[in-house]
Structure 1
Amino acid sequence: MRRQSRAPREDWRARVESLGFDFHTLDGPYWIEDACYRFDADEIDRIENAGNELHAMCLQAVAHVIERGEYEPLGLDQNAAAMVEASWRNGERALYGRMDLAYDGRGEPKLLEYNADTPTSLFEASIVQWHWLEDTRAGADQFNLIHEKLVERWAELLPHDAVVHFAGCLETREDEATVEYLRESCAQAGFTTDLLDISDIGWRDSGFVDLHDRPITRMFKLYPWEWMMSEGFAAHLPSAPTTWIEPAWKQVLSNKSLLPLLWRLYPGHPNLLPASHDPREIPGPVVAKPRHGREGEGVFIAERGIDFAESAVVYQGFAPLYRSEGGHALLGAWVIGDETVGLGIREDDGPVTRNTSRFVPHCFD
């Protein structure tokens, strides 16, 4: 693994905008094209295998929580727990997720968190960086079967006559692009789709409806479950005849309190870091993370440990990210269904990855 400088395509802005990637430059550069990350095939295999094993462990963790009723350590109340159990026992299947890993080409990738409910940067990882590789031939290949596997997964999730609504906070351009891309992948699988803002979902009689009063039978929502459970319409969720993508049991995985649970179930696992709700149980430097924080919000690193525990905060052993002249690099391993099928890399000047962190393409030989 190494970061390699290279010349950008002369017309790269026009090239990425033609794909619909018009947020390549925000407050600063978001898409980076004067460099790429290069791996060898063994490193890609190691990342893929780690993602597959970690995902299987996470599914076992969901089963453990439901079997034992251990919802309190996850901050899930009675209503959330009931929805988790119902969706799991009904066999509702998941679409996708992104595991954030610390890896520097040596040793084993370490799980930092699992964005299992509403991960973004999918369009960049699936489409934009693949076209970069096709144009530049910077490497022999790229760990990127995301698009093909998404199309296949929709066909596995849905009956042939399904109509799927897609919703999110569409005023946010990155969220809108993610929702639109997933909608397009579903349409390519042969399904009828419709798009609306999450605020435009209504309730009539005994079900959720769209702006045309059409019933919402299946809904992909780029909107976190913990936000849904705190909304005024949450009382309707258990009785509504809507299949949600992602399913409600993802509340166990999209919750950083998953990390102490995994460490308790699989202590010393080579792809895990020590984690606890009590920082005094973590030897050495500690990273503190809010249970439901997003995009690095509220994350801080304590070099000498912490002597007190805060409510709804998870503490994890510190694992340094790959570091180069470009900054600190976080690896996002994309899971479609139950397979790890692709990789996206975010880079930041500091050790915490945030919503302003840059996306850098990759390849392998």
Structure 2
Amino acid sequence: MEKIRIAERPNWQARVEAQGFGFHTFDGERYWDERAYYRFTERQVTHDLESPTRVLHQMCLEVVDRVVQSEQLLTELSIPAAFHDLVRDSWRRAEPHLYGRFDFSYNGSGPAKLLEANYDTPTSLLEAGAIQLLWLEEQIASGELPAQANQFNTLAEDLVRALATFGNASPWWFSAIAGSSEDRGTTDFLRRMAAHAGIDTRHIDLQDIGLDTQGRFIDLAGEPITRLFKLHAWEHIFEEPFGQAVAASGTQFIEPAWKAIISNKGILPLLWRFFEGHPNLLPAFVDPAPAKPVAQGRVRKPFFSREGANIELCTEQGQRVEESGPYTDAPYILQAMAPLPRFGDSYTLIGSWVVGDVPAGIGIREDDSLITKDSSRFLPHVVLD
């Protein structure tokens, strides 16, 4: 694994915008950064990333099966009691799921270490599934990369295949919070993949979803929403009036309610409890004293943190790094620290995607800090021996 400098494509901004990637720059700072790429060997991808992704996914599903059989575990995960049946029933009915992402610390050798699972509302899907693939194709065509260069990236085709299994008997609404270009880019990408699968798709802002007198969710035209992809976390839905109507609405939700278990960082202590010593896991425990300073070699994370918010860490050398944020209303975990590898001035995180139950590709994020955030840069990758 190495980071290699490369020339940017001429007029790259227009090229990515043509693919619906309008959020390539935030506040004048690059989010998409193609001035370099990360190179992996085939073995690194297949042995160190793809295989653990498959195994960890199955382990997570096993944890879900254990959790839904236990009121105590559902409570430990801070899932409100009023929604235990919703979560439990969605699993027992085998409600289908679509995608998720594991975040790894990996430096090219040794086992990748699982930092967290993002299995309900993971973003950077457009960047990973389409934008970096277009970059690869154009860099090969221009001669900047050799013809045999490849990527671990079957996201687009895997999404089309997975979406096709849902059938096309009824329309599918894709929703995100109005005003978020990143969320809209993700949902529009998924809509395009669904259209390739022959599904009639529509967009609706989350704020525009209504409820009729029969308890059905409806769109602005009053049409019942039979299937809804919502880029909105279940832990938020559980706290909103919207959530009270879910169980009786008749709407099929993607992701299903059982994904609230895997997307919760409380699953990390459960994974360690049930699979202690697994080479891809880090010791993790519910934090009994979240007001105390983080000990050296530990990371503190809220159950429901997103994009690095409210994370605190202390390295083995005593360096302390923390990010502020709004996620202070749930328990925290303590996790052993697996520092992100440093390439030049940047710390690098690997996001490994699952579509359905199949590993589907990776995306690379890097930051000047040990905590990966919403503003962290996305760089393409290449697999080349």
Q: Provide TM-score, normalisation by structure 2.
A: 0.91
Matched, 1:320 2:339: yes
For 1:119-198, list aligned pairs within 5 A.
119-137=122-140, 138=145, 140-156=149-165, 158-198=166-206
Matches within 5 A, 1:1-365: 1-27=1-27, 28-45=29-46, 46-69=48-71, 70-137=73-140, 138=145, 140-156=149-165, 158-206=166-214, 207-278=216-287, 285-303=297-315, 312-365=331-384
Q: Distance in 2 between matches of 1:151 and 1:223?
A: 22
| Whole-Å separation in 2 of the counterparts to 1:335 and 1:326 | 30
Which residue pairs with 2:324 in the alignment?
A: none
- Tell me which amino acid in the other structure corresponds to 1:325: G
Query: Partners in 1 of 2:22 and 2:171 — Cα distance?
Result: 28
**Matched residues in 2 for 1:95 and 1:234: separation?**
21
Q: CA deviation at 1:80?
A: 2.2
Q: Give yes or no for contact 1:279–1:286 (8 Å, CA) kept in 2.
A: no
For the 8 Å contact 1:331–1:343, the answer to whether it is kept is yes
Cα distance between partner residues in 1 of 2:338 and 2:125: 24
Q: In the aligned structure 2, how far is the partner of 1:161 from the partner of 1:129?
A: 33
The one-letter amino acid of 2:41's match is D
Q: CA RMSD in A?
A: 1.7
- What letter corresponds to residue 4 of structure 1 in structure 2? I
Check whether the contact 1:326–1:347 (CA below 8 A) recurs between aligned residues: no
1:240-294 deviation line (CA, Å, top 9, x unaligned): 10000000000100100000000000001000000001379x9851100111010
Q: Which runs of 5+ in 1 are unaligned?
A: none
Q: Distance in 1 between matches of 2:167 and 2:7?
A: 46
Aligned-residue offset at 1:159: 2.7
Structure 1 residue 81, shift from structure 2 partner: 1.4
Task: Show structure 1 runs of 4+ deviating over 2 A.
Answer: 302-306
> Counterparts of 2:171 and 2:16 in 1: how far apart (Å)?
30
For residue 199 of structure 1, give the secondary structure of its aligned residue in structure 2: helix
The residue that corresponds to 2:325 in the other structure is none
**AA partner of residue 50 (structure 1):** P
Question: Take 1:233 and 1:278, find their aligned partners in 2: how far apart are those partners?
Answer: 31
2:168 touches 2:200 (CA, 8 Å); kept in 1? no
One-letter code aligned to 1:152? R
Question: What is the TM-score with the length of structure 1 in the denominator?
Answer: 0.95
1:326 shift after superposition: 4.5
Tell me which amino acid in the other structure corresponds to 2:305. Answer: G
Query: Partners of 2:241 and 2:87 in 1: how far apart?
Result: 19
